[in-house]
Amino acid sequence: TERTLSIIKPDATRRNLTGKINAKFEDAGLRIVAQKRIQLTKAQAGEFYKVHAERPFYDELCEFMASEPVVVQVLEGEGAIAKNREVMGATNPADADSGTIRAEFAESVGENSVHGSDAPETAKDEISFFFADLEIV
Ligand code: ATP
Ligand code: MG
C-alpha cells in the first residue's frame, strides 16, 4: 500500500470542513494514518512550497498557507497518491469534476481547500517534512 501527504488548507479549516473532507477520503478507501492541526509560519510554508518559488503566485500562496491553521495528514491505501488527487479534483475548482472536494468546497484556484502529493518521491519528502515515522500508525 502507498502513502501520500494531504493538507486541509486554511480556507477549509476556517469554514469547519475538516470532517466533511475526511469523509470524502474515507469513502474513497483512503485511511487517515496520521493527522495533526498546526499553524505554519510563512517561512515554513515557503520551504514546503519551494518548488513553486519562481511562480507569480508563490508569495500569495505562502501568505495564505500561514494565515490560519491547517490539518496535515498521511493517507494510506492502494494507489493512494493518484486516488487522493482524484478525490481532490482539478487545481482550479472551475475545472474540477462534480463530487470532488475542490468542486464542492474550494473558493478559488489559490484557496482550493486541499493539497496532495503528486508523486512517490514528493510524497516521501512531504510526509517526512511533517511527521516522524513513529507518528504514522
Ligand atoms: P497542491 O500542490 O496544493 O496539491 P496542485 O498540485 O493541484 O495543488 P500546483 O500546481 O502544485 O497545484 O500548485 C500548488 C498550489 O498553488 C495550488 O494548490 C494553489 O493553491 C496554488 N496555485 C496554483 N496555481 C495558482 C494560480 N494560478 N493562482 C494562485 N494560486 C495558484
Ligand atoms: Mg502540487
Q: Which of 4, 115, 117, 126 is catalytic?
A: 115
Atom 19 in ligand 1: which residue has the minimum CA distance?
Answer: 110
- Terminal-to-terminal C-alpha distance of the chain: 13
Residue 112 annotated as binding site: yes
31 labeled binding residue: no
Cα separation values, 58 from 8, 45, 64, 81, 128, Å = 18, 10, 10, 23, 22
Query: pLDDT tens digit string along 60-116?
Result: 999 999 999 999 999 999 999 999 999 999 999 999 999 999 999 999 999 999 999
Question: What is the distance in A from the centroid of ligand 1 to the CA of 103?
Answer: 15
Protein residues with CB under 6 Å of any ligand 1 atom: 52, 57, 61, 91, 109-110, 112, 115-116, 118
- Residue 87 pLDDT: 98
Q: Bridge-partner residues for 75, per DSSP?
A: 4, 32
